Amino acid sequence: MSRPASIIGVLGAGTMGAGIAQLACRSGARTLLHDPIPEALHSGAEKLRAGLQREAARGRLSAEEADAAAVRLEAVDSLEAFAPCELIIEAVPERLELKHEIYARLSEIVSEECVLATNTSSLLVTAIAAAASRPERVVGMHFFNPAPLMRLLEVVAGEESSPESLALAHATGEAMGKTVIRASDGPGFLVNRCNRPFGLEALRLAQEQIADIETIDRVCRMQGGFRMGPFELMDLVGVDTGFEISKSFFAQSFGEPRWRPSPITARYVAAGRHGRKTGRGYYTYPPAGEVGAARYRPEDPEPPESDVQRSGEGVIVIAGHGTLAAELREAAGGVGYEIRSPNDPTGGILPALIIDCDRDPPGGQRGSASGERRPDRRGQGRPAPQGGAYLVLCAAGSLGVLDPEGSGVGFHALAPFADARLVELTRNESSSPLAAARAERFFKALGKHVAWVGDAPGLVLGRIVCQVINESAFALGEGVGEARDIDLGMVLGLSHPHGPFEWADAIGLDHVLAVLEALCDEYREERYRPAPALRRLAAAGRLGRASGAGFFDYET
C-alpha cells in the first residue's frame, strides 16, 4: 500500500485550488500553494486559513489542529518552488493549451518521481498528460465542489498512468479524509458521465411537453427523493456551463445519441438565462439579500390524509408479480383496503379499482430481457375492467400502447414505494373520469400526492432513473469503473438518494429493461438502447433483490 504524499504542491488558488490546499494542509502534508496572479494567491491563502477556522468552529477540527494545519501552508511565488514536491495538484482553468504549457514547464522542475495530478472535470487526462515528459506520472484527481466538504474523490487513470502514480494519488486522497473511487479516462470520468441523463432526459421530457419544468423537478424530489430537481440543479451549476459540458461530451464521443445537447439549453443560453448567477435560468430568482422575497418555487407539501373506510372503496384488485405490485399490496393492505388477486372470487362485490402492474402491449410485440418474444398477457387470468375503474402500470409501454382505446388511466412509480411522496398519473381522450378520480383517491389514501403528466413509457421519474441506470451500465460494461464505485460516486459526489445499481436491484432489472425497451420501440432511437451489461444480467436471471442477485448478490 502506497503512503500519501508528504509534500504537496497546489497550482491555482481559486475556489477549488484553495479548497484542495486546505485538505492537503489538514492531512499533515507540507503544502505549497501557487497562483501566477499575486492577488489571487493572497486571497486563496486567506480563504484557506478562514476555512480551517470555520472547521474548528464547527467541531470538525480542534483549534490546535487548525492552527497546525495553517502553519503547513506556504504561499510561493514561482513554479520553481515546487521542486521538492512529491505530488502536484493542478486546478487551473479548463483550457488544454494552458495545461499543456504548465505540464511541460513542471516536467523541467520536479523530480522524475513526482506525480502530476489534474483536477479537470471536462478534459481527458490522457490529452493533458501528452505535454508531460513522463506521462505515466500524470493522473486525474477530481475533487467535488466544495472540496473541503464533499466526501468523494475520483482518481482517474489516463492511458499511460502508472500503478504507482495512481496508488500515491489514492493514498493521498484517503489521508485527506476522502472516499476514493477509481475511474478510467473518458468523457466525464465516472460520476459526471453516469449522471448525464438526469439533466438531458429531463430536458427531453420538457421538449416533448410530457410535463413542465416545475412538475419534472417536483416529481424528482417528491417521488425520487432527490434533494433538487434536474432544472434546479442545472440553474445552480450554470445553464451556460452545463451547455458547454454537453457539447464537450457529444464531441468527445463522436456523436453518441445519449449525449446529444438539448435545443432548449441552447435557447436559454442565447437569451442570457444562465441560472442563479444571472437571476434567471429555468427559474427566476429573487435578488440576493432581498428581504421578504418569494422563493423561486413553493415548498413541497406534506403527505395528504385520507380515510379508506369513509371513501367507500375498500376492495382493490392488484394484478402482477413484480416488486412494485408486491409493495402496492402491502401499502394498500396497511391502510385498510381489502386486496384481491384477479382470480379471487368477488362474492358479488365490484372492486373499486383494478390495478394492472404486469401489462404487455397487445399482440405480444414486446421482447423479453432474454430477447425472446413474450406472449400477450392482456386479460389472461384477470377480470376485464368494469366501470372504467382501471389503472395500468406504464412500464412496458405508454398508456396509449398498453390500453389502446380503453378507458383506463396510467400510472408509474419506482421501488421503494414506501419512500415516495408522489405518484405520477396519465390519461388520454378515452380514459374514464371515474378511473381518474378513483386512482387519485387510492394514492391519497396511501399518503401520496399525485401529478398528472403526459403519456410515455416510465412517465417522468421512471424514464429519467432508468436512463441513469442504463448509462451506468454502459460505463460498467466499458470498464470505466466498478459497480460499487459507481454507486458510491453518485451518492457521495452528487447526493443521489440511491446508487443506480442498488436502485436497479430494488426496482427489478426486468422493470428497468421494460421501460428502456418500450422507449426504444416507441421512439425508434438509439438513445434508448439498453446497455449490453444490463441485458446480460437479466438474461441470466439476475433480476435484483427479489431474485437474490442483480448487479450485486443478496442473501436469500
Q: Which of 541, 242, 247 is nearest to 370 (CA)?
A: 541
Q: Find the catalytic residue in 34, 119, 142, 431.
A: 142
154 is catalytic: yes
107, 161, 192, 398: the catalytic one is: 192
Q: Could you give the C-alpha distances from 224 to 64, 168, 456, 467, in angstroms and in order? A: 43, 38, 18, 14
Catalytic status, residue 246: no
Cell of 164: 504507482
CB 527 within 8 A of CB 260: yes
DSSP string over 289-319: T-TTPPPSSPPPPPPP---HHHHT--EEEEE
Strands across the sheet containing 353-356: 338-340, 315-319, 353-356, 390-393, 409-412, 422-426, 449-452
Query: 3-state secondary structure string, 271-282?
Result: CCCCEHHHCECC
Contacts of residue 196, defined as CB under 8 A and 6 or more positions apart, other chains included, come to 188, 249, 258, 259, 471
Per-residue cell: 196: 448525464
- Give CA–CA dist 461/230, Å, rounded: 11
Burial of 390 (0-12, 13-18, 19+ CB in 10 A): buried
**Residues forming a β-bridge with 89:** 10, 117
Q: Are 468 and 474 in contact (CB under 8 A)?
A: no
Give the integer Cα–Cα distance in Å for 246 and 42. 34
3-state secondary structure of 340: strand
Are the beta carbons of 282 and 213 closer than 8 angstroms? yes
Q: Is 6 one of the catalytic residues?
A: no
407 given a catalytic annotation: no
Catalytic member of 121, 246, 431, 470: 121
Which of the residues 55, 86, 154, 327 is marked catalytic? 154
Residue located via cell numbers 491563502: 45
Question: Catalytic residue numbers?
Answer: 121, 142, 154, 192
